[in-house]
Amino acid sequence: MASVWSSASRILRGNLGVLILSSGIWNVASGLANPYFSLYVLALGGSYFEVGLTSAIGNLFMILPLIFAGSLTDIIGRKKLVVYLGFLLSFVYIIFSQAPSWEFLLLGQSLNNLISGFRSPAFSSLVADSTDPDDRVLAIALQQRVPQAMRLISPILGGYFIDQLGILPAMRWFYIITFFACIATHLLRHKYLKETFTPEDRDLIDGLKSTLTEIKELSSRVSRQALFLIGINAVLHLALMTSSSYWVIYATDDVVGLTASEWGLITIVQDIVIIVFTIVFSLAADKYGKFRFVLASLLLTPITIALFPFSSTFTEILLLRAAFSLFISMRTAAFSAMFIDYSPQAFRGRLNAFQSFASRPMVIAGSLLGGYFYQNLSKTAPFFITAAVMGSVGTAFFLLIKEPKIKE
């Protein structure tokens, strides 16, 4: 136990500590609104399909920047992109707060994903560069879950104010608060983050011109396991996005009839489960290997998703979402760490961009399919489709992926 605390304290003293604290500030604010975004789309006049369309079109705008973002990360460096694009991202929340109709949420999501497309490979590379191979899963688990722990109370506060004020006034205030939190987050990052990678000595224009050639070169210079993980991650996004926007709608407005406060309480419970057990499983994965935990998650999570449409009470949904979070916690940090293990540092920006780029079409397809099925087929169809596809992903992972023997 002493060695665990020693590792954790060492991890928190560097860049990851700065990222965790700053992300926590941002998460406290964004956690007020994020669980209820689908309800916000409906309240502004959108349909079930347009809930999915908002997500799909937004993600479409992430594809183009991702083509160049990896090279930018490896040419310009990590910190500049993370900080300056983060400041720019904060102004998107003003659009969300003032939206007079659901189409303005479409605009906000598009700008959010456009900026995030340039920013996300730099952020992922900064996290990867700041981890040590021997305790990488623990480091990633702390980076993912401590900010989530800081926002635990936010969903139930958000639900309470939605029940008291109504969805539109409450969400507008939530996004104004998030704007200021995002500014504060990136002021901290500007002051305290340290650059982790000496950029390549290349002209920016020449570097961008060579990007498409490098994508082809990348496939021959990294391991097949990394490429398999990129493919598995992409199909996993297809599965999860088919139903992700409809959990809250199914449980509140449409079928079960929970209040926003009750959904907020469920969100807090599942957050507690995923925070605690991500740390627990990360320690076990660092010691015993990542493969078995990722595989168990991919095979067990679909069961909870398939059972969700049979839920009819608050208690049943609470227990299923807690089980869902338990099984997800086996995978998240371990999968990310496994991908880093197979990613050479000099290519991390481009590999992270390639992974995000490969998943975007799947996110778009899943969002559109989910909206179409929920509106036109049945309200249970997205959940059954998600479970079936995710089970197939688990089978592919078992057949194609091996535990990394050499960690980059």
CA 136/CA 156 separation, integer angstroms: 32
Res. 5: pLDDT tops 70: no
Give the lowest-confidence range in 83-97, 112-126, 240-254, 294-308.
112-126
Res. 369: pLDDT tops 60: yes
pLDDT of amino acid 348: 67
Q: What is the pLDDT of residues 200-219, one digit of tens each?
A: 655 555 555 555 555 556 66
Where do the domains of the chain lie, and which CATH numbers do they carry?
2-194+203-400 (1.20.1250.20)
Percent of the chain with pLDDT strictly greater than 90:
56
- Contact of 281 with 294, CB cutoff 8 Å: no
Coil vs helix vs strand at 331: coil
What Rg do the C-alpha atoms of the chain give, in angstroms?
20
CA 291/CA 334 separation, integer angstroms: 8
CA 164/CA 4 separation, integer angstroms: 44
- pTM value is 0.82
Residue of 103, 114, 63 lying closest to 364 (CA atoms): 63
Q: Which contiguous run of DSSP H or E holds residue 12?
A: helix 2-13
pLDDT of amino acid 200: 60
Confidence of residue 224 (pLDDT cuts 50, 70, 90): confident
Farthest CA pair distance, the chain: 60
Alpha helices in 289-347 (DSSP H): 291-307, 314-329, 332-341
Contacts of 259 (CB under 8 A, 6+ apart): 159, 163, 252
The strand ranges marked E within 129-210 are none
pLDDT of amino acid 4: 58
pLDDT of amino acid 314: 94
